[in-house]
Amino acid sequence: MVAPIQAIRGMNDILPQDTFLWQFIENNLRDVLQSYGYQEIRTPVLEKTELFKRSIGEATDIVEKEMYTFLDRSNESLTLRPEGTAGTVRAGIEHGLLYNQIQRLWYLGENFRYERPQKGRYRQFFQCGAEVFGLQGPDIDAELILMAGKIFEKLGLKSAVTLQLNSLGSIESRKTYRHELVNYFTDHKNELDEDSLRRLTTNPLRILDSKNPSLKHLIENAPKLMDHLDPESADHFDKLQNYLTLAGLDFTLNPCLVRGLDYYTKTVFEWVTTELGAQGTVCAGGRYDGLVEQLGGKPTPALGFALGMERTVLLLQQKSHAPHLLDIYFMTDGEPAFQKGLELTAKLRDQVPGLNVIQHCGGGALKNQFKKADKIGARFGMILGEQELKDRTITIKPLRESTPQVTIPEDQLIDWVKSH
Ligand code: ATP
Ligand code: MG
């Protein structure tokens, strides 16, 4: 017998038992993004390597050590996209979508990074991103962040994540700060680890992002970017915080929050969770006013976020956040009840948009039908037995809540379902 071939390490199959959760997330994402007027863009998985080097920056983890890069048959260096912003900006410039225009875009797709696979960190992973071009005020920063908040709310994950905010200021104010930071860490050179020593010359802000616990104290006492903001960035940041407060969205300021990528300016944010161990960032983003120009377009303010799909799936797999798989499992006892059931389930699907209903097929005792309903994770079991058929009623049993079962007249069924 030949040995079976296995998938590549860190690249997951998504199996039927989990696709339901993916679809649940995807449907909610689409609904929210489209309700805010964002339009979908789809770009290729492969781009010229140069695109990522120029946008993400040479001194980043991604470009230094995580990209899947190869020469194609005509010796051109290509890279599987490690993130979605670069390709979106490239396409926007190439098709004239950005100059003097406002665009609200979103995408969903796979990315590739050669990382050490572990829970919440894979070599192929999916991100849903939103990117806005052509707006420079804090109003749009607020919209984007509130929209991300709405996504978590729709997914039932509001209590699982918290928002952290920081401002990186303008590129100029960051230069002054960078200088001060380098001085500070140079004074404490003997306390730095190998990674941070390297970053001290290449990308010192990234030291703030270090996950090494022995650097925690040193980082906490480092000079703060927030104290070095230029007046315009400070005003932008104040207004943003005010909008979020007005909208009732809680956040915490995290002065050590810097994004891994070079191109961010002003607002940066992360939605984090404590439920996934080390891989705590579920959604990350910010403003990147310099990127379009850096990639050869006209100067265009821009901002965006990317939400990690696998980490979102992991959160939904926690029992306390698990969504129900199915609204109704409809059970019947005997042939006449089955026939009546066909009529009622068809009516439910027609008259209650978005409802999903399985009518039990294959007969058998009600007890066994209940077992199926439970296993599939239905929210309600509906029973049409001999008695119900005679009385023109339906019995409804909540399967995921501890509320009592009820028997209602058949002609009230649609109203009952709508109100639940
Ligand atoms: P981290 O610090 O966790 O490596 P990052 O700064 O590299 O994250 P981004 O490039 O900002 O991450 O990507 C945005 C989001 O995409 C992350 O917050 C995370 O949810 C998800 N993500 C990034 N890399 C991976 C990966 N290798 N596997 C799964 N999800 C990922
Ligand atoms: Mg990373």
Ligand 1 neighbour 306 (Cβ under 6 A): yes
CB 137 within 8 A of CB 109: no
pLDDT for residue 256: 87
Ligand 1 neighbour 308 (Cβ under 6 A): yes
What count of Cα atoms within 13 Å lies in the side-chain half-sphere of residue 280? Answer: 12
Q: What is the CA radius of gyration of the chain?
A: 26
Question: Which one of the ligands is nearest to 315 CA?
Answer: 1
Ligand 1 neighbour 85 (Cβ under 6 A): no
Residue 120's Cβ-count burial label (10 Å; 0-12, 13-18, 19+) is buried
234 vs 335: CA distance, rounded Å: 72
Predicted confidence pLDDT, tens digits, the chain (420 residues)? 899 999 999 999 999 889 989 999 999 999 999 999 999 999 999 999 999 999 998 888 899 899 999 999 999 999 999 999 999 999 999 999 999 999 999 999 999 999 999 999 999 999 999 999 999 999 999 999 999 999 999 999 999 999 999 999 988 888 888 889 999 999 999 999 998 998 888 888 889 888 888 988 999 899 988 888 999 999 999 999 999 999 999 999 998 898 766 678 999 999 999 999 888 999 999 999 999 999 999 999 999 999 999 999 999 998 788 888 789 999 999 999 999 999 999 999 999 998 999 999 999 999 999 999 988 889 999 999 999 999 999 999 999 888 999 999 999 999 999 998
DSSP letter at 95 equals: T
230 vs 173: CA distance, rounded Å: 6
CB 163 within 8 A of CB 184: no
286 vs 303: CA distance, rounded Å: 5
Question: Which one of the ligands is nearest to 118 CA?
Answer: 1
Q: What string of DSSP letters covers 294-348?
A: HTTS----EEEEEEEHHHHHHHHHSGGGPPPSEEEEEEE-SHHHHHHHHHHHHHH
CB atoms within 10 A of CB 202: 12
Beta-bridged to residue 110, according to DSSP, are 126
Query: Mind listing the pLDDT tens digit for each residue in 98-146?
Result: 999 999 999 999 999 999 999 999 999 999 999 999 999 999 999 999 9
Query: Mind listing the pLDDT tens digit for each residue in 61-100?
Result: 899 899 999 999 999 999 999 999 999 999 999 999 999 9
Looking at ligand 1, which residue's alpha carbon is closest to its atom 5?
260
Question: Which one of the ligands is nearest to 308 CA?
Answer: 1
Looking at ligand 1, which residue's alpha carbon is closest to its atom 22?
308
Tell me the CA–centroid distance for residue 61 and ligand 2, in Å: 7
Q: To the nearest 5 percent, what fractions of the chain are helix, strand and coil? A: 45, 20, 35
Q: Which residues contact 324 (CB under 8 A, 6 or more apart)?
A: 377, 378, 379, 400
Residue 249's Cβ-count burial label (10 Å; 0-12, 13-18, 19+) is middle
pLDDT for residue 176: 86
Ligand 1 neighbour 198 (Cβ under 6 A): no
Ligand 1 neighbour 310 (Cβ under 6 A): yes
CB 323 within 8 A of CB 379: no
CB 134 within 8 A of CB 102: yes
Ligand 1 neighbour 281 (Cβ under 6 A): yes
pLDDT for residue 259: 78
- 286 φ/ψ angles, rounded to the nearest 5 degrees: 160, -170
DSSP letter at 118 equals: B
CB 297 within 8 A of CB 92: yes
Tell me the CA–centroid distance for residue 214 and ligand 2, in Å: 20
CB 196 within 8 A of CB 184: no
Closest ligand 1 atom to the C-alpha of 120?
Answer: 29
CB 112 within 8 A of CB 81: yes
Q: Quote the tokens at residue 304.
A: 């965006």
Positive/negative CA dihedral, 203, 206, 212, 216: positive
Q: Looking only at Cα atoms, what is the longest distance across the chain? A: 86
Looking at ligand 1, which residue's alpha carbon is closest to its atom 19?
308
Closest ligand 1 atom to the C-alpha of 211?
Answer: 2
Question: Which one of the ligands is nearest to 81 CA?
Answer: 1
Closest ligand 1 atom to the C-alpha of 260?
Answer: 6
Of residues 394, 403, 390, the one with CA closest to residue 357 = 394
pLDDT for residue 260: 66
